[in-house]
Amino acid sequence: MKPMGHTRFLALATVATLVLAACSGGPGSGTPGPSAQAELGDAEAELNLIIWAGYAERGEIDPNFDWVTPFEEDTGCKVNATPMTDSNNGVSLMQSGEYDGGSFSGDATNRLMAGGIVAPVNTELIPNYANIFEGLKLKSHNSLDGVPYGVPHGRGPNLLMYNTEVVTETPTSWDPVWEGGSEFEGKISIYDSSIYIADAALHLMTTQADLGITNPYQLNDEQFAAAIALLEAQKANGATYWGTFSDQVASYAAGDVVVGTSWQFQVNLMQAEDAPIAGVLPDEGSTGWSDTWMIAKEAKNPDCMYLWMNHMASAEANGQATVWFGEAPTSQAACDFAETLSPGHCELTHATDEAYYDKIWYWSTPQADCADTDDATTCKDQDDWVQAWTTIRGA
Amino acid sequence: MIEPRAIRILLRIASSAVLVFLYLPLVILTIYAFNPSRLQVWPPTGFTLYWFGEAANNPAVITAVANSLFVATVATSIALVLGTLASLAVQRYDFFGRQTISFFLVLPIALPGVVTGIALRTSFVTFGIEFGLFTIIVGHATFCVVIAYNNVIARLRRLPRSPEEASADLGGNAFTTFRRVTLPGMGTALLSGALLAFALSFDEIIVTNFTAGAGTQTIPIWILSAIQRPTELPVVNVVALVLILLSVIPVWLATRISSGVEGARL
Amino acid sequence: MTDEGLSGTPREPFPTPPAGGQEPVIASPRRGLAHRISTWAYPRRRIQLGALLAAPLGWLVIAYLGALFILLLNAFWEKDAFTGQVEPFAWSLDAFVELFSNDVYRTIAIRTIGMAVLVTLTDALLAFPIAYYMARVASPRTRGLLVIAVLTPLWAAYLVKVYAWRTILQGNGFAEWLLGPLGFESTGLTEISYTWLVLSYLWLPYMILPIYAGLERIPRSLLEASSDLGGRPLATFRRVILPLVFPAFVAGSIFTFSLTLGDYITPDLVSDAKFIGNVIYDNSSLGNLPLAAAYSLLPILIMTIYLLVARRLGAFDSL
């Protein structure tokens, strides 16, 4: 029984992988698209979610905000929530097949739907779905061919977060993080994700209108190059990059950064600790996100996932979650509940104001065909964006 | 002592400086285990034992510690068995590829953890193996084998063969000889190898991050997830502090064992 | 060993057990299964070897080399640009084209290798005095305590140590408080020099211990002979100690070099710079597995060469 020769091993391995490849097939291999679950079975024992940090609280930071423990007690599904750093990370985690679903933004949902990683939802199994604002249902980021693929959850803009003691006048534009930010050299905090290129493009829509950018996520070569140049200038000005909200909070608290891009969540957290921090939506608008709970096609605990999606569409859970994170609730009932936790929350987040959200560019996936009907246009795709971001960050 | 006195004083100063360097972060972490504020900014704002209570009542911590102990024990056992078998083969037999084996055994610990991690993860996903304690153990055992191997082979080189020959002469078969002569001779080498492998597995984060999966947490994984949540950072410091204090015992044990042998040599 | 009893008379072939029910000192030949296997295998050395090696090699080949092989296969497969999914057996060199056409990957590689060398040298310099003190100057009791003192930080969780350094190095942190009067000002957690500092800190025990073991192995007689022959301490150090401790240094350097080469957590936490480990990790978690796999070839190649050189230099005996 000599040890296996190297060549023999290689042969065996190749055969093994061939067999596996033949058996697994792929989403693009001609198999029909995933279909929604027909009925609700008995709840399984656990639920594995991918979430944005802050989307599954169990009262550890503030005992008043806990929508996970009541769910676990009601259904017996133990929730394991894994936070993602950005949408690219979320998509990759879903591809591993270990998770039952998660809360995804528009720049992840398209890829998940196209890749057959998520399944459509059977809204009849989700009683609370009916109450959700019509303006959130069946949008391009949460549906495919008129079939709903998820349960909407909160939306909001990316904000300019600043230290009120250093930036004494409320900023009205994004200038402080771009050209006007030379006075803040080395103290600028930027989201570490390729999707941030869209923010550069958004800024160019006002400062270099002749570039003709109509959609900050679909950029042709010239527009893209201009956005990258802007980002490189920003980096040369000493921008620092945050991947997790706690890192950003720590650097604001230490005074290492005074201005940057963030979410209402961090603003809320720091104001709760009486830090001199505020957030503002500049006049030219901003990028933002509209999140959806989606279920994995290969979910191991699909019934728990359906119960969760229904739970998160309920007034109490959605109200708590959206007040906690600082985003807009998804139904009138949730709005009313949110009012009890934080009066004026619905108005503050413009939950029913569709005109407001016209100024917000939801995160979307860059596509080579520019996601439009014009065949002649070609744009930089997701790969180009990630590679460009790697180059900026790695240089 | 042949070193001149001036050199010895310099060495003493240098060693103290290095020790201060080694312990500075540990002192900081101790301070912050008692710090009331959730944000770890300097200077500390006070003194409290609150976080100790939080840590003791945190079910995730307890589960993570239990998982870590289980994984380390199983991985170390596997590593001991495999390492001993390999070292017996390499030390006692002469064959083609002898050098290559020690090379391949070092590879898992010498290649960066991130490479080992994604290689294992990709393979698990490809073959549809479910992530959990089993996958973590596979990763840990793989790079702990070389630790057992190194310790055992170093001992085997020094073990005299005559007791084993005597045992055979007296009628003992190979298994009996191994069990009653070789194994006790290797005893302390196995123990020190086991302690080192256990330590490595207990603190491993990089490979474990890839092989753990969604629902399983060892202590380093728990720390990774908790350290990113503002409320948990002080609890993390508490857990780390307690682990350091508890670890002094096995470390002391390991040094006693190995020093017993070293002391016999000049 | 002659087959005579204590009384000088030839021993009986099958001694009766001594009174009192004790187990016989000499095992009587049993015909059990274990014994039969052992006897059968005795002359068949190759089968013995095979039996010993089957488990460890099998494990290594299947669990480790097999996993590496599958990873490297992914480097040659195509990835869908939109969904990010890898198509098995869709052979393509896209990942390698990307790696070679974009300068940033070369920059990152050089930066990482440079940092690895720097950290290794720093750790060697920091480790030597204390290792020497422990090995040759300290009393046995102090030595024991020092070994424990050096080993204990290894038990402190990696992440916690790095976060403690963040507290020290960040703006208005401990370092600024302590060294402010000397003109030190923190520029936030963005300096690559902080990565150098923290990595040198983290791997220092891995360098101290092999050097200590190596120094300890040098027989005192050798050093005494050197001074007898007229060598002053510096000469003894340079011509006797250094060459003898060099393999131990190389052994320790395997750890410091490879741990730095692949680390992605520390650069992320105390600086903004990207290293090889970051590229691999980011791409594996951002859904570009072929690129991550292709880039992994670099540290694999570097460490394989490093190990081969290290073995030549005798480091494997000092691990």
- Which residues in chain B have Cβ-Cβ distances shorter than 8 Å to A60? 229, 231-232
Contact C66 A243 (CB under 8 A): no
Number of Cβ pairs < 8 A linking chain A and chain B = 48
Interface check B228 vs C, CB under 8 A:
no
CA dihedral C73, C75, C78, C81 (to 10 degrees): 140
Interface check A240 vs C, CB under 8 A:
yes
CA nearest neighbour of A382 among C82, C291, C77: C82
Q: Which of B11, B43, B93 is closest, CB to CB, to C129?
A: B11
Mean pLDDT, to the nearest integer, of C110-121? 95
Residue A277 resides in a domain: no
The verdict on A180 and A133 lying in the same domain is no
The verdict on A122 and A206 lying in the same domain is no
The verdict on A194 and A220 lying in the same domain is yes
Interface check B89 vs C, CB under 8 A:
yes
| Three state DSSP letters for chain B | CCCCHHHHHHHHHHHHHHHHHHHHHHHHHHHHHCCCCCCCCCCCCCCCCHHHHHHHCCHHHHHHHHHHHHHHHHHHHHHHHHHHHHHHHHHHCCCCCHHHHHHHHHHHHHCCHHHHHHHHHHHHHHCCCCCCHHHHHHHHHHHHHHHHHHHHHHHHHHCCCHHHHHHHHCCCCHHHHHHHHHHHHHHHHHHHHHHHHHHHHHCCCHHHHHHCCCCCCCHHHHHHHHCCCHHHHHHHHHHHHHHHHHHHHHHHHHHHHHHHHHCCCC
Contact A164, A278 (CB under 8 A): yes
pLDDT at A31: 43
How far apart are the C-alpha atoms of B236 and C219, rounded to whole Å? 45
* Strand-pair category, A286-296 with A277-280: unpaired
Phi, psi (degrees; rounded to nearest 5) at A49: -115, 150
Neighbours of C48 (CB within 10 A): 18
| Mean pLDDT, chain B, integer | 85
Distance from chain centroid for Cα B59: 25
Residue A179 resides in a domain: yes
Contact B230 A269 (CB under 8 A): yes
Find all residues with CB under 8 Å of B176, minimum gap 6, and list them: B167, C27, C34
- Kindly list the partner chains of chain C, i.e. chains with 3 or more CB atom pairs below 8 Å: A, B
Contact C41 B174 (CB under 8 A): yes
Contact B122 C150 (CB under 8 A): no
Contact B75, B144 (CB under 8 A): yes
Mean pLDDT, to the nearest integer, of C165-169? 87
What tens digit of pLDDT does each residue of C51-66 get? 888 999 999 999 999 9
Neighbours of B166 (CB within 10 A): 13
pLDDT at B196: 83
Task: Grade residue B226 by pLDDT with cuts at 50, 70 and 90.
Answer: confident
| Mean pLDDT, chain C, integer | 84
Helix axes C158-169, B233-262, angle to 10 degrees: 120
The verdict on A50 and A76 lying in the same domain is yes
Q: Is the pLDDT of residue C254 over 80?
A: yes
Both tokens assigned to A173:
């534009």
Neighbours of B165 (CB within 10 A): 13
What tens digit of pLDDT does each residue of A183-238 get? 888 899 999 999 999 999 999 999 999 999 999 999 999 999 999 999 999 999 88
Mean pLDDT is highest, among A186-195, B34-43, C135-144, for: A186-195
The verdict on A66 and A145 lying in the same domain is yes
The verdict on A169 and A125 lying in the same domain is no
Both tokens assigned to C276:
């090889």
- Kindly list the partner chains of chain A, i.e. chains with 3 or more CB atom pairs below 8 Å: B, C
- Kindly list the partner chains of chain B, i.e. chains with 3 or more CB atom pairs below 8 Å: A, C
Where b means 16+ CB within 10 Å and e means fewer, C1-12 reads eeeeeeeeeeee
Contact B39 A273 (CB under 8 A): yes
Mean pLDDT, to the nearest integer, of C131-156? 87
Q: Is the pLDDT of residue B234 over 70?
A: yes
Query: Which is it for the CA torsion C132, C137, C140, C141, positive or negative?
Result: negative
In this structure, what CATH number is given to the domain that contains residue A235?
A: 3.40.190.10
pLDDT at C271: 87
What tens digit of pLDDT does each residue of C170-220 get? 877 888 888 888 877 777 777 888 999 999 999 999 999 889 988 888 888
- Looking at per-residue pLDDT, the higher value among A321 and C47 belongs to A321
How far apart are the C-alpha atoms of A389 and A232, rounded to whole Å? 10
The verdict on A249 and A379 lying in the same domain is yes
- Which residues in chain B have Cβ-Cβ distances shorter than 8 Å to C39? 173
Residue A284 resides in a domain: no
Residue A271 resides in a domain: no
Contact A98, B213 (CB under 8 A): yes
The verdict on A256 and A294 lying in the same domain is no
Contact C157 B99 (CB under 8 A): no
Contact B215, A80 (CB under 8 A): yes
Mean pLDDT, to the nearest integer, of C229-258? 86
Contact C203, C119 (CB under 8 A): yes
Give the length of chain B: 266
Three-state secondary-structure class, residue A51: strand
Of chain A residues 46-65, which have a CB less than 8 A from chain B? 46, 48, 53, 60-61
Interface check A93 vs C, CB under 8 A:
yes
User: pTM value?
Assistant: 0.84
Residue A130 resides in a domain: yes
How far apart are the C-alpha atoms of C240 and B3, rounded to whole Å? 14
How far apart are the C-alpha atoms of A264 and C118, rounded to whole Å? 42
How far apart are the C-alpha atoms of B32 and B22, rounded to whole Å? 17
How far apart are the C-alpha atoms of A268 and C25, rounded to whole Å? 79
Alpha-helical regions (H) of A76-220: 87-95, 106-114, 197-207
Both tokens assigned to B237:
């410091």
CA dihedral A351, A67, A108, A120 (to 10 degrees): -90
How far apart are the C-alpha atoms of A112 and A108, rounded to whole Å? 6
Contact A105, A87 (CB under 8 A): yes
How far apart are the C-alpha atoms of C261 and C249, rounded to whole Å? 18
Closest-CA distance of chain A to residue B83, Å:
16
pLDDT at A15: 47
Q: Is the pLDDT of residue B4 over 90?
A: no
Contact C285 A387 (CB under 8 A): no
Contact C188 A240 (CB under 8 A): yes
Helix axes B133-158, B183-202, angle to 10 degrees: 140
- Looking at per-residue pLDDT, the higher value among C3 and A311 belongs to A311
Q: A47: which strand partners?
A: A79
Both tokens assigned to A276:
């001199």
The verdict on A188 and A306 lying in the same domain is no
Of chain A residues 346-365, which have a CB less than 8 A from chain C? 365
Contact B231 A60 (CB under 8 A): yes
Both tokens assigned to C127:
């480790």
- Which residues in chain B have Cβ-Cβ distances shorter than 8 Å to A99? 214
Contact B61, B248 (CB under 8 A): no
| Percent of chain B's residues with pLDDT above 70 | 95
Interface check B97 vs A, CB under 8 A:
yes
Residue A267 resides in a domain: no
Interface check A246 vs C, CB under 8 A:
no
Q: Which of C26, C284, C311 is closest, CB to CB, to B103?
A: C311
A284, exposed or middle or buried, with CB in 10 Å at 0-12, 13-18, 19+? middle
Neighbours of C219 (CB within 10 A): 12
pLDDT at A16: 46
- Which residues in chain A have Cβ-Cβ distances shorter than 8 Å to C278? 394
Give residue A233's domain range: 159-262+365-393
- Amino acid at the residue A332: Q
Task: Grade residue B16 by pLDDT with cuts at 50, 70 and 90.
Answer: very high
The verdict on A179 and A306 lying in the same domain is no
Block mean pLDDT (10 aa), chain A, length 395: 46 45 38 66 85 88 88 91 88 88 92 90 92 89 90 93 92 88 88 94 92 91 94 91 88 90 91 90 91 93 93 94 92 92 88 85 88 82 89 89
Both tokens assigned to B24:
């500075």
How far apart are the C-alpha atoms of A163 and C162, rounded to whole Å? 26
pLDDT at C178: 84
The verdict on A30 and A128 lying in the same domain is yes
ipTM: 0.86
- Report the number of distinct structural domains present in chain A: 2
- Interface probe for C, chosen from B91, B173, B205 (most Cβ of C below 10 Å), is B173
pLDDT at B264: 27
Contact B122, C74 (CB under 8 A): yes
The H-or-E segment that residue A262 falls in is strand A259-262
How far apart are the C-alpha atoms of B38 and B60, rounded to whole Å? 19
- Amino acid at the residue A188: I
- Amino acid at the residue C167: T
- Which residues in chain A have Cβ-Cβ distances shorter than 8 Å to C185? none
The verdict on A337 and A389 lying in the same domain is no
Residue A194 resides in a domain: yes
Contact A387 C98 (CB under 8 A): yes
Residue A282 resides in a domain: no
